[in-house]
Amino acid sequence: MHARTASDIAPNRHAVHPFDARHGTDTGGYLTPQEVAAGREHDSLNYGYSAIAPSVFREALARWRDTLRDDSKRLSAYTFVDVGAGKGRALLLAAEVPFRKVVGVELNEDLARIARRNVARHSALARPRAKIHVMRADALEFRWPRAPLLVYLYNPFACELVEQLAAKLAAAATPSASGLVDLLYVNPTCADALSRQGKFSLLWTARIEMDERDQQADPYGTTWDRVSAYRLRR
Protein backbone atom coordinates (compact mmCIF):
# COMPACT_ATOMS: atom_id res chain seq x y z
CA MET A 1 0.00 0.00 0.00
CA HIS A 2 1.46 3.36 -1.00
CA ALA A 3 1.63 6.32 1.40
CA ARG A 4 -1.13 8.87 1.02
CA THR A 5 0.02 12.00 -0.76
CA ALA A 6 -1.13 15.59 -0.38
CA SER A 7 -3.22 15.09 -3.52
CA ASP A 8 -4.95 12.10 -1.92
CA ILE A 9 -5.69 13.93 1.32
CA ALA A 10 -6.54 17.38 -0.03
CA PRO A 11 -7.34 17.21 -3.74
CA ASN A 12 -8.55 20.84 -3.76
CA ARG A 13 -5.53 22.21 -1.91
CA HIS A 14 -4.54 24.68 -4.66
CA ALA A 15 -7.88 26.49 -4.68
CA VAL A 16 -7.63 30.19 -3.85
CA HIS A 17 -9.99 30.95 -1.00
CA PRO A 18 -12.24 34.03 -1.38
CA PHE A 19 -10.90 35.30 1.96
CA ASP A 20 -7.38 35.45 0.50
CA ALA A 21 -8.58 36.93 -2.79
CA ARG A 22 -10.29 39.73 -0.87
CA HIS A 23 -7.47 40.54 1.55
CA GLY A 24 -4.37 39.74 -0.50
CA THR A 25 -3.34 37.10 2.03
CA ASP A 26 -2.03 33.55 1.75
CA THR A 27 -3.85 31.45 4.36
CA GLY A 28 -5.20 28.57 2.26
CA GLY A 29 -4.03 25.21 1.00
CA TYR A 30 -2.82 22.09 2.74
CA LEU A 31 0.67 21.18 3.97
CA THR A 32 1.63 17.66 5.04
CA PRO A 33 3.11 16.95 8.47
CA GLN A 34 6.50 16.52 6.79
CA GLU A 35 6.22 19.96 5.18
CA VAL A 36 5.56 21.71 8.49
CA ALA A 37 8.20 19.82 10.48
CA ALA A 38 10.33 22.20 12.52
CA GLY A 39 13.27 20.00 13.48
CA ARG A 40 11.92 19.35 16.98
CA GLU A 41 11.25 16.17 18.94
CA HIS A 42 7.47 16.31 18.40
CA ASP A 43 7.59 16.71 14.61
CA SER A 44 6.19 13.23 14.07
CA LEU A 45 3.08 14.13 16.10
CA ASN A 46 1.94 17.16 14.10
CA TYR A 47 -1.04 16.82 11.76
CA GLY A 48 0.00 19.22 9.00
CA TYR A 49 -1.62 22.51 8.06
CA SER A 50 -4.93 23.67 6.70
CA ALA A 51 -7.10 26.66 7.63
CA ILE A 52 -10.55 26.94 9.16
CA ALA A 53 -13.48 27.90 6.94
CA PRO A 54 -14.48 31.46 7.91
CA SER A 55 -18.17 30.54 8.09
CA VAL A 56 -17.41 27.70 10.52
CA PHE A 57 -15.16 29.88 12.66
CA ARG A 58 -17.71 32.68 12.95
CA GLU A 59 -20.54 30.29 13.83
CA ALA A 60 -18.41 28.46 16.41
CA LEU A 61 -17.39 31.74 18.00
CA ALA A 62 -21.04 32.84 18.18
CA ARG A 63 -22.02 29.56 19.87
CA TRP A 64 -19.19 29.94 22.36
CA ARG A 65 -20.26 33.49 23.20
CA ASP A 66 -23.75 32.18 23.97
CA THR A 67 -22.26 30.07 26.81
CA LEU A 68 -20.88 33.09 28.64
CA ARG A 69 -22.61 34.53 31.67
CA ASP A 70 -23.67 38.15 31.50
CA ASP A 71 -20.74 39.23 33.66
CA SER A 72 -18.19 37.46 31.42
CA LYS A 73 -19.41 38.57 28.00
CA ARG A 74 -17.04 41.53 27.79
CA LEU A 75 -14.74 40.19 25.08
CA SER A 76 -12.28 43.02 25.59
CA ALA A 77 -11.14 41.11 28.70
CA TYR A 78 -10.35 37.90 26.78
CA THR A 79 -7.15 36.87 25.06
CA PHE A 80 -7.63 34.58 22.07
CA VAL A 81 -4.75 32.09 21.62
CA ASP A 82 -4.43 29.94 18.48
CA VAL A 83 -2.20 26.94 19.20
CA GLY A 84 -0.59 25.86 15.94
CA ALA A 85 -1.52 29.08 14.18
CA GLY A 86 -0.03 28.13 10.81
CA LYS A 87 -0.53 30.89 8.27
CA GLY A 88 -2.81 32.80 10.61
CA ARG A 89 -6.31 32.73 9.14
CA ALA A 90 -7.98 32.10 12.51
CA LEU A 91 -6.04 35.05 13.95
CA LEU A 92 -7.40 37.36 11.27
CA LEU A 93 -10.93 36.10 11.86
CA ALA A 94 -10.60 36.43 15.64
CA ALA A 95 -9.53 40.06 15.20
CA GLU A 96 -12.99 40.79 13.76
CA VAL A 97 -14.22 40.89 17.37
CA PRO A 98 -12.79 43.07 20.18
CA PHE A 99 -10.67 40.59 22.10
CA ARG A 100 -8.10 42.07 24.50
CA LYS A 101 -5.50 40.64 22.15
CA VAL A 102 -5.10 37.82 19.65
CA VAL A 103 -2.04 35.57 19.89
CA GLY A 104 -0.80 32.94 17.46
CA VAL A 105 1.64 30.25 18.66
CA GLU A 106 3.45 28.54 15.80
CA LEU A 107 6.58 26.37 15.96
CA ASN A 108 7.45 26.34 12.24
CA GLU A 109 9.53 29.42 11.43
CA ASP A 110 8.37 29.66 7.81
CA LEU A 111 4.70 29.47 8.74
CA ALA A 112 5.16 32.06 11.50
CA ARG A 113 6.77 34.38 8.94
CA ILE A 114 3.87 33.88 6.51
CA ALA A 115 1.39 34.53 9.32
CA ARG A 116 3.09 37.83 10.20
CA ARG A 117 3.02 38.86 6.55
CA ASN A 118 -0.67 37.98 6.36
CA VAL A 119 -1.38 40.03 9.48
CA ALA A 120 0.33 43.04 7.92
CA ARG A 121 -1.52 42.69 4.61
CA HIS A 122 -4.89 42.10 6.25
CA SER A 123 -4.46 45.05 8.62
CA ALA A 124 -3.77 47.34 5.67
CA LEU A 125 -7.13 46.51 4.07
CA ALA A 126 -9.40 45.55 6.94
CA ARG A 127 -10.12 47.17 10.27
CA PRO A 128 -9.05 44.61 12.89
CA ARG A 129 -10.65 45.17 16.29
CA ALA A 130 -7.85 43.48 18.22
CA LYS A 131 -4.06 43.61 18.15
CA ILE A 132 -2.55 40.43 16.66
CA HIS A 133 0.75 38.92 17.86
CA VAL A 134 2.42 35.93 16.16
CA MET A 135 4.91 34.07 18.32
CA ARG A 136 7.30 31.36 17.15
CA ALA A 137 7.16 29.01 20.11
CA ASP A 138 6.58 25.44 21.24
CA ALA A 139 3.01 25.20 22.52
CA LEU A 140 4.15 23.08 25.47
CA GLU A 141 6.63 25.79 26.51
CA PHE A 142 4.37 28.77 25.87
CA ARG A 143 3.78 31.14 28.79
CA TRP A 144 0.02 31.58 28.95
CA PRO A 145 -1.47 35.08 29.30
CA ARG A 146 -3.69 35.81 32.25
CA ALA A 147 -7.31 34.63 32.19
CA PRO A 148 -9.87 34.93 30.79
CA LEU A 149 -8.68 32.97 27.77
CA LEU A 150 -10.19 31.39 24.69
CA VAL A 151 -7.74 28.80 23.39
CA TYR A 152 -8.28 27.63 19.82
CA LEU A 153 -7.17 24.29 18.37
CA TYR A 154 -7.70 23.22 14.77
CA ASN A 155 -6.67 19.58 15.26
CA PRO A 156 -2.99 20.60 15.30
CA PHE A 157 -1.28 17.50 16.70
CA ALA A 158 -1.57 14.05 18.24
CA CYS A 159 -3.58 13.21 21.33
CA GLU A 160 -0.66 12.86 23.71
CA LEU A 161 0.30 16.48 23.01
CA VAL A 162 -3.31 17.68 23.37
CA GLU A 163 -3.43 16.00 26.78
CA GLN A 164 -0.13 17.57 27.84
CA LEU A 165 -1.24 20.98 26.56
CA ALA A 166 -4.48 20.81 28.55
CA ALA A 167 -2.58 19.87 31.71
CA LYS A 168 -0.13 22.76 31.31
CA LEU A 169 -2.94 25.20 30.59
CA ALA A 170 -4.86 24.06 33.67
CA ALA A 171 -1.73 24.36 35.82
CA ALA A 172 -1.08 27.88 34.54
CA ALA A 173 -4.65 28.96 35.38
CA THR A 174 -4.30 29.07 39.16
CA PRO A 175 -7.39 28.98 41.38
CA SER A 176 -6.86 32.63 42.16
CA ALA A 177 -6.95 33.59 38.48
CA SER A 178 -10.01 35.58 37.52
CA GLY A 179 -12.13 34.71 34.54
CA LEU A 180 -12.80 31.63 32.44
CA VAL A 181 -10.40 29.43 30.46
CA ASP A 182 -12.14 27.85 27.48
CA LEU A 183 -11.08 25.67 24.56
CA LEU A 184 -12.59 25.84 21.09
CA TYR A 185 -11.53 22.60 19.39
CA VAL A 186 -12.19 22.10 15.66
CA ASN A 187 -12.21 18.53 14.31
CA PRO A 188 -11.67 17.21 17.85
CA THR A 189 -10.05 13.87 17.07
CA CYS A 190 -8.52 13.81 20.56
CA ALA A 191 -11.71 14.52 22.49
CA ASP A 192 -11.35 11.25 24.43
CA ALA A 193 -7.84 12.15 25.53
CA LEU A 194 -9.03 15.56 26.65
CA SER A 195 -11.85 13.99 28.65
CA ARG A 196 -9.44 11.53 30.28
CA GLN A 197 -7.23 14.40 31.28
CA GLY A 198 -10.16 15.51 33.42
CA LYS A 199 -9.49 19.22 33.71
CA PHE A 200 -12.03 20.47 31.17
CA SER A 201 -15.80 20.00 30.91
CA LEU A 202 -17.53 19.71 27.54
CA LEU A 203 -19.89 22.65 26.93
CA TRP A 204 -21.20 21.59 23.54
CA THR A 205 -20.26 19.82 20.33
CA ALA A 206 -21.82 20.56 16.96
CA ARG A 207 -21.56 19.81 13.27
CA ILE A 208 -21.24 23.23 11.62
CA GLU A 209 -21.95 23.54 7.91
CA MET A 210 -19.74 25.67 5.69
CA ASP A 211 -21.31 28.30 3.50
CA GLU A 212 -21.19 27.77 -0.26
CA ARG A 213 -18.01 29.78 -0.86
CA ASP A 214 -16.14 27.88 1.83
CA GLN A 215 -17.33 24.54 0.46
CA GLN A 216 -16.03 25.38 -3.00
CA ALA A 217 -12.59 26.35 -1.66
CA ASP A 218 -12.19 23.67 1.01
CA PRO A 219 -8.92 21.78 0.35
CA TYR A 220 -10.44 18.46 1.42
CA GLY A 221 -13.66 18.87 -0.56
CA THR A 222 -15.75 18.64 2.62
CA THR A 223 -18.80 20.71 3.53
CA TRP A 224 -18.75 20.86 7.34
CA ASP A 225 -16.57 20.65 10.44
CA ARG A 226 -17.22 19.30 13.90
CA VAL A 227 -16.45 21.75 16.69
CA SER A 228 -16.43 21.23 20.46
CA ALA A 229 -16.17 23.79 23.25
CA TYR A 230 -14.68 23.03 26.68
CA ARG A 231 -14.36 24.98 29.93
CA LEU A 232 -11.74 24.56 32.64
CA ARG A 233 -13.27 23.06 35.78
CA ARG A 234 -13.12 25.32 38.84
**pLDDT one-digit tens code per residue, 166-205:** 999 998 876 555 678 999 999 999 999 888 878 999 999 9
Mean confidence (pLDDT) of the chain: 91
SS (H, E, C) the chain: CCCCCHHHHCCCCCCCCHHHHHHCCCCCCCECCCCCCCCCCCHHHECCECCCCHHHHHHHHHHHHCCCCHHHCCHHHCEEEEECCCCCHHHHHHCCCCCCEEEEEECCHHHHHHHHHHHHHHHHHCCCCCCEEEEECCCCCCCCCCCCEEEEEECCECHHHHHHHHHHHHHHCCCCCCCCEEEEEECCCCHHHHHHHCCEEEEEEEEEECCHHHHHHCCCCCCEEEEEEEEECC
**pLDDT one-digit tens code per residue, 137-146:** 999 999 999 9
Buried b (16+ CB within 10 A) or exposed e, 98-119: ebbbbbbbbbbeebbebbbebb
Confidence category of residue 1, pLDDT binned at 50, 70, 90? very low
Residue 194: per-residue pLDDT: 87
Residue 74: per-residue pLDDT: 83
Domain ranges in the chain are 11-42+51-232
Residue 2: per-residue pLDDT: 47
Of 224, 163, 231, 218, which is closest to residue 13 (Cα–Cα)? 218
Q: What kind of architecture, by CATH, is found in domain 11-42+51-232?
A: 3-Layer(aba) Sandwich (3.40)
